[in-house]
Amino acid sequence: MHYELIGEAKSKNLIVFSNGLGTDFRIWLPLFDELGEDVSVLLYDSRGHGLSGGADAAFGMDELVTDLASLCDELGIRKATFCGLSVGGLVCQGLWKARPDLFRKLVLCDTAPQIGSPAIWGERIAGIEKGGLESAADNAMARWFTPGFHEDRADELAGYRLMMTRQSVAGYLSTCAALRDTDFSEILPTITVPTLAIVGDQDGSTPPETVKKGAELIPGARFEIIEDCAHLPCIEQPEALAEMIQGFMRQN
Site map for ligand LWBT4IAB, 164-183, x if CB under 6 A? ---------------x----
Among 115, 137, 242, 245, binds ligand LWBT4IAB (CB under 6 A): 115
CB 7 within 8 A of CB 15: no
Stretch that binds ligand LWBT4IAB, among 7-15, 16-24, 53-61, 188-196 (CB under 6 A): 16-24
Helices 118-131 and 134-144 sit at what angle, rounded to 10 degrees?
140
Q: How many Å apart are CA 177 and CA 111, to the nearest integer?
A: 16
**Which parts of 188-247 interact with ligand LWBT4IAB (CB under 6 A)?**
205, 231
Helices 169-180 and 87-98 sit at what angle, rounded to 10 degrees?
60
Among 86, 167, 168, 195, binds ligand LWBT4IAB (CB under 6 A): 86
**Closer of 140 and 244 to ligand LWBT4IAB (Cβ):** 140
Binding status of residue 60 toward ligand LWBT4IAB by CB under 6 A: no
Q: How many Å apart are CA 2 and CA 51, to the nearest integer?
A: 6
Q: Report the candidate in 229, 227, 225, 221 with the shortest Cα–Cα distance to residue 251.
A: 221
**Closer of 179 and 249 to ligand LWBT4IAB (Cβ):** 179
Among 41, 102, 112, 140, binds ligand LWBT4IAB (CB under 6 A): 140
Stretch that binds ligand LWBT4IAB, among 8-16, 19-27, 39-47, 67-75 (CB under 6 A): 19-27
Helices (H), 85-225: 87-98, 118-131, 134-144, 147-152, 154-165, 169-180, 208-216
Helices 61-74 and 169-180 sit at what angle, rounded to 10 degrees?
110
Q: Report the candidate in 126, 128, 111, 132 with the shortest Cα–Cα distance to residue 198.
A: 111
Binding status of residue 146 toward ligand LWBT4IAB by CB under 6 A: no
Counting residues that bind ligand LWBT4IAB (by CB under 6 A) gives 11
Q: How many Å apart are CA 232 and CA 25, to the nearest integer?
A: 12
Residues forming contacts to ligand LWBT4IAB in the complex (CB under 6 A) are 20-22, 86-87, 115, 140, 143, 179, 205, 231
